[in-house]
Amino acid sequence: MTSVVRDLFNTSVEFVRTFGAFQLFSLRVLRHSPEVLLGRFGLVVKQVFNTGALSLVIIMVCGLFVGGVLGLQGYSNLARFNAEDSIGVFAAFGLIKELGPVITALLFAGRAGTALASEIGLMKATDQLSAMEMMAVNPVPRVLVPRFLGGVIAMPLLVAVFSMIGLFGTHLVAVELLSVDVGAFWQQIQITVDMEDINEGIIKSIVFGVAASMIAVWEGYNAVPTAEGVGRATTRTVVITAIAVLVFDFMITAVMI
Amino acid sequence: MLCYAVAEGTYVRQGPQKKQTMKQLDDSSHNLIEIRNLKFSRGHRVIFKGLDLDIKRGEVTAFMGPSGTGKTTLLRLITRQLIPEEGTIHIGGIDIATLNMAELYRLRQRFGMLFQNGALLTDLNVFENVAFPLREHTKLTNRLIRHVVLTKLHAVGLRGAADMLPSELSGGMARRVALARAMVMDPDILIYDEPFVGLDPISMGVIVRLVRRMNDTLGITSIIVSHDVAEVSTVADCSFLISGGKVAASGSPDELRTAKSELVRQFMHGMADGPVAFHYQAPDYEEQLLGRDAE
């Protein structure tokens, strides 16, 4: 019993210590962000390509199928109330406010977050970060901040692409396959969806972008510099990002609803 | 006048650094690096327990010793990648523990370090790897950077590999590119961490001659960590044999080779029996093979 209490206490202390270190690390990254954004934008653009453009295929394919599923589910449920014309609104709300940001963030963690964490972890394991320090180059603004900013910029763009392709997927299923009236489909979206709804999606995508990118660079930078350590850091990136995204999603929805 | 940048031909540093508080290195003293009463441990394992040594300006100094004696750790302490628990390290008369980060980074611009595995930046090609310190710390034109980088690559025999990626290089080539990068800023102190490991005889000969030539012609102070007694003997002016957390012996390679100490003789002549045990601490061999545990 005593050992259980002691383990619980040690784990709690370790959690608080790690969380505190993460916050200090986040402040360091944020402190250097303006200078990198203004002075070394080329590095950021390269990372937007690495994290954003290279994630486009997975985002577009998943978006298309998620939209298609929304079309099928929406039709079968709304048809019970003879409201199948509202399927466009149903899908638009679902995609823009919830599914777009959340699924994109989860896919981002799996595709780009793991790539970031393992790249930085391997740079550490192969002494590249130490070599930079020895060349009097601070690795935080040179390596970490561009990758963080790349992720933050890429996420809202990916969410926008996901939502658009998703809506197109719903259109394909509902209009082309299930013969819902195309005019009603798009007109109801135009009338019902407000800028407020889109803002909710934008806010979520920015928050998820900051969280997912920060967790990925943190895990990579703090990875144990061995093959096993980098592997663990990569796994933790996906797990922690998934939890953080869903918790933030609940909090933002609760505030904005 | 720029901090730490007193060597002739040192490139112009970027503007904001000039405004920092200046601490001038003493470039006249005989000893460039002085280490006194250095104590350091990792967890419960004591690495150094009161280490004292001096590194003379303009010489090639070697740290030798059995595996795990903390030679690489000592390099990391000298460059303040690690901080000692006790004791002082003075470089050019300045206690490096008193430097803030900006001052430390300016001091490091006078260092060149060759890592054991080269530590080339994997997302840049060979040319950009060597150009990296110049692009970060100077405002040289692209044309001048190209000139300097090709000169350094030519010195290590890899001018033709300028467009290759680090992943396309062999271990020896990567080490030579890393050496070109370490000397691209014309440092005052060049540190080599196991420079001879895994090199073919031709590359090894080139590197050994290069170390000696740079030291003699450019007046660089070189520090080498190596196990390789034969190669170190040909290049080093002074060697420190580190064992048991202290300097066990020091002197020129010839002095060490003829030393009477059992430890020095064991290391210099590669003998299995001596003060340094070949076997790590373990229970009795016979007992472990045939005793109760075996069942």
B247 located within any domain: yes
Is residue B32 domain-resident?
A: yes
In a domain, B8, yes or no: no
Virtual torsion, Cα A135, A144, A22, A132, nearest 10 deg: -10
> Is A227 part of a structural domain of the chain?
yes
Q: Which domain holds residue B106?
A: 15-252
> What is the CATH number for B159?
3.40.50.300
Residue A45: count other Cβ atoms within 10 Å of its Cβ. Answer: 14
pLDDT at B4: 35
Contact (Cβ atoms closer than 8 angstroms) between residue A154 and residue A209: yes
Residue A7 lies in a domain: no
Would B145 be classed as within a structural domain? yes
Inside any domain, residue A1: no
Residue A25 inside a domain? The answer is no
Residue A138 contacts B where some CB pair is shorter than 8 Å:
yes
pLDDT tens-digit map of B207-228: 888 888 888 888 889 999 987 7
Q: Note whether residue B56 is domain-resident.
A: yes
- Is residue B128 less than 8 Å (CB to CB) from chain A? no
B82, part of any domain: yes
- Please indicate whether, in this complex, the C-beta atoms of B132 and A135 are within 8 angstroms of each other: yes
Residue B29 pLDDT level (bands cut at 50, 70, 90): low
Is ipTM > 0.90 here? no
Q: Is the pLDDT of residue B25 over 80?
A: no
Looking only at the bridges linking them, the beta strands covering B45-56 and B31-42 are antiparallel
List the single best residue of A40, A50, A127, A135 to mutate versus B (max B Cβ within 10 A): A135
CB within 8 Å: A137 and B109? no
For residue range A67-83, what is the model confidence (pLDDT) as tens digits?
Answer: 999 999 999 999 898 88
Query: Is the distance from CB of B283 to CB of B290 less than 8 angstroms?
Result: no
CA distance A195 to chain B (A): 41
In a domain, A16, yes or no: no
B66: closest CA of chain A, how far (Å): 23
Number of domains chain B contains: 1
- With respect to residue A229, please indicate whether it lies within any of the assigned structural domains: yes
Closest chain B residue to A128 measured between Cα atoms? B119
B176 touches chain A (CB under 8 A): no
pLDDT of residue B17: 42
Asked, for residue B291, whether it belongs to a domain, the answer is no
Residue B294: pLDDT band (50, 70, 90) is: low
The interface residues of chain A toward chain B in range 63-122, judged by CB-CB distance below 8 A, are: 122
Tell if the CB–CB gap between B133 and A137 is shorter than 8 Å: yes
Pick among B79, B105, B167, B169 to test the A interface (most A CBs inside 10 A) = B105
SS (H, E, C) B23-78: CCCCCCCCEEEEEEEEEEEECCEEEEEEEEEEEECCCEEEEECCCCCCHHHHHHHH
Q: How confident is the model at residue B14 (pLDDT cuts 50, 70, 90)?
A: very low
Question: How many domains are there within chain A?
Answer: 1
Average pLDDT, stretch B139-145? Answer: 93
Is there a domain that residue B192 lies in? Answer: yes
Statement: residue A59 has pLDDT above 80: yes
pLDDT tens profile B245-275? 888 888 887 787 777 777 777 777 777 667 7
Asked if the C-beta of B13 comes within 8 angstroms of chain A's C-beta atoms, the answer is no
pLDDT of residue B213: 84
Q: Is A236 on the interface with B (CB under 8 A)?
A: no
User: Residue A52 in contact with residue A158, Cβ under 8 Å?
Assistant: yes
Place of tokens 């540093």: B13
Q: For residue A167, what are the domain limits?
A: 45-256
